[in-house]
Structure 1
Amino acid sequence: MTYRIKPVLLAFSIMGAICGGLPLASANTLEQVMEQKLLRVAIDLNAPPYGMTDDKMTAIGSDVETANLIADSLGVKLQIVPTTQANRIPFLLTNKADVVISSLSITEERARVVDFTIPYADNKAVIAVSKDSPVKELKDLVGKTVVTARGTTNDQQVTKQAPPGTNIVRFENDATAITAITSGQSSIFATAPSIIGALNQKYPAKAMDIRIVMSSAKLAIGVAKNNPEIKEKMNELIRANLKNGKLNEIYKKYHQTDLPADVVALGG
């Protein structure tokens, strides 16, 4: 289905866990996590290269390795709670997960619902097109179809910035959006540079160029509000693993570039 959503409605879709009547539950405290020796982390495994599965159905990706690193640093076992982009925050609010590590950009709207740690990585929201596409600017999107993953920063930015007359088709995750691109449903993709890199590597015949950068955002761990002990501990572990270079190693492995200097500097 092709339609447009008003930016304010999209921005506050994450409020669905409250306004939609989902039963809110008290998030596990740091003490409970340590007692159970288990950290439940919500990760979208259909968002390469952040979260995905290999041919043996093993979870891999930069967010998966980051979650493993955080759990190891905490001295507990990791339990991945598979989610979708749209359900990342609702899973946290309903205590299905202790934290969210799932390419979650820090935004003002989300910060009204959850707390964020300091950044552990960054991400850009871009528009990529087929190499022969005439699209070079936002105004060129009029009358064309753009695909994106519902509930992501990419979705928010293209909804906010695309001119009237742009058809925006939203899929439940990046994997299904990629399928729409490779199957020819559209040749315009609002997503992240790393996802375009992964798409180009896997589907060279469908290779795309990044033509428009809509925004740049920092990625952080999402934590339930009023749970300061978890947030403080996550910040401590992020700083330590920025300082020792492990988070940069993970980022470079999956994104083929180093973390931005301003993120690395948070390690002290």
Structure 2
Amino acid sequence: MKTLSNFTKKAAAVMLGLACFAQIVHADTLADIKARKKVLIAVDLGAPPFGMTNAKLEPQGSDVETARALAKDLGVELEIVQVTGPNRVPFLMTGKADMVIATFSITPERAKVISFTHPYGASQFVVAAPKGTAIKSLADLNGKRIAVVRGNMQDSLLTPLAPKGATIVRFDDDATVTAAVVSGQVDGLCTPNALAAAIARQNPSKGLETKFAIKDIPYAIGIRQNEPELQKWLNAWVDANTKNGRLGQIYQQWVGAPMPDLAQFAAK
């Protein structure tokens, strides 16, 4: 726990430093995007069905389609900047991306250094494991090895709740978490339900199934702080495309389930 605490403090210090740097070099990002006629959107391509590549190594998934729709409505070219969960904030704060569309869960810690738009989706975080693994609740994680992406929402949610006898095994991204589960290196994983379902479909012999849910968390587009024009445009875009069902259709197409009711997060 002490090591995790030290890691968290160091990570927070780094993010605060990046925030200060970004504010120094920051200009009007919306104007910059329009001037260069290209938007740089960070997407995690190792998190199916939200972001992934097809047989031709072309980006696809619900976040990819959301980014394409946004760029089209902005009237600019889209450049996808590939990221992993842990480097979404650094890529944003150092100007490698104009915004992040990568199931970026809204948390108080992240909101200290970046800004979020209105939610455009939500994830139910679950613990999943092979069918024969005796897990029904948090208490059953005692003596089990559970994989998470280091520093991501699943880490933040599960670590304080897990029993002392559980071992939280941290990996750098969803791809290495998946590999650990498939190879039997861990007993299970904590992840969004859609990603757990995607892993199960891709690896039917593992018999992966959801054991229990932890919490529903909204996710949004992440941008640098003090970008009122960009935030205003993005909020209007999210609201309009939530209302007309466009974002819901993209979610349904790739996730295979209806979009969660985002109204439950309106006051949060």
Q: TM-score, normalised by structure 2?
A: 0.91
1:6 equivalent in structure 2:
4
One-letter amino acid of the counterpart of residue 97, structure 2: A
Q: Distance in 2 between matches of 1:233 and 1:72?
A: 14
2:14 equivalent in structure 1:
16
Cα distance, 1:262 vs structure 2: 3.1
1:141 equivalent in structure 2:
141
Cα distance, 1:62 vs structure 2: 0.7
Q: Distance in 2 between matches of 1:165 and 1:70?
A: 45
After superposition, the Cα gap between the structure-2 partners of 1:107 and 1:176, relative to the gap in structure 1 and judged at 3 Å, is: same
SS in 2 for 1:234: helix
Cα distance, 1:61 vs structure 2: 0.8
After superposition, the Cα gap between the structure-2 partners of 1:14 and 1:259, relative to the gap in structure 1 and judged at 3 Å, is: farther
Identity of aligned residues (%): 37
SS in 1 for 2:106: coil
Counterpart contact for 1:7–1:160, Cα < 8 Å: no
Counterpart contact for 1:27–1:224, Cα < 8 Å: no
Q: Deviations over 1:141-200 (max 9, x none)?
A: 122111111222111111121111211111111111101111111121111111111111
Q: Distance in 1 between matches of 2:73 and 2:221?
A: 15
Q: Distance in 2 between matches of 1:162 and 1:30?
A: 42
After superposition, the Cα gap between the structure-2 partners of 1:28 and 1:170, relative to the gap in structure 1 and judged at 3 Å, is: farther
2:213 equivalent in structure 1:
213
Counterpart contact for 1:16–1:22, Cα < 8 Å: no
Counterpart contact for 1:27–1:92, Cα < 8 Å: no
Counterpart contact for 1:199–1:207, Cα < 8 Å: no
SS in 1 for 2:105: coil
Counterpart contact for 1:171–1:177, Cα < 8 Å: yes
Counterpart contact for 2:19–2:113, Cα < 8 Å: no
Cα distance, 1:15 vs structure 2: 4.6
Matched positions, count = 264
1:239 equivalent in structure 2:
239
Matched, 1:158 2:158: yes
Structure 2: unaligned runs, 5 residues or longer: none
SS in 1 for 2:189: strand
Matched, 1:72 2:76: no
1:182 equivalent in structure 2:
182
Q: Deviations over 1:67-99 (max 9, x none)?
A: 111111111111111111001011111111110
- Greater displacement, 22-31 / 251-260: 22-31
Cα distance, 1:14 vs structure 2: 5.3
Q: Distance in 2 between matches of 1:228 and 1:235?
A: 10
Q: Distance in 2 between matches of 1:48 and 1:244?
A: 25
After superposition, the Cα gap between the structure-2 partners of 1:18 and 1:112, relative to the gap in structure 1 and judged at 3 Å, is: closer
- Greater displacement, 16-25 / 255-264: 16-25
Cα distance, 1:8 vs structure 2: 7.9
What is the root-mean-square deviation of aligned Cα atoms in Å?
2.3
One-letter amino acid of the counterpart of residue 16, structure 1: V
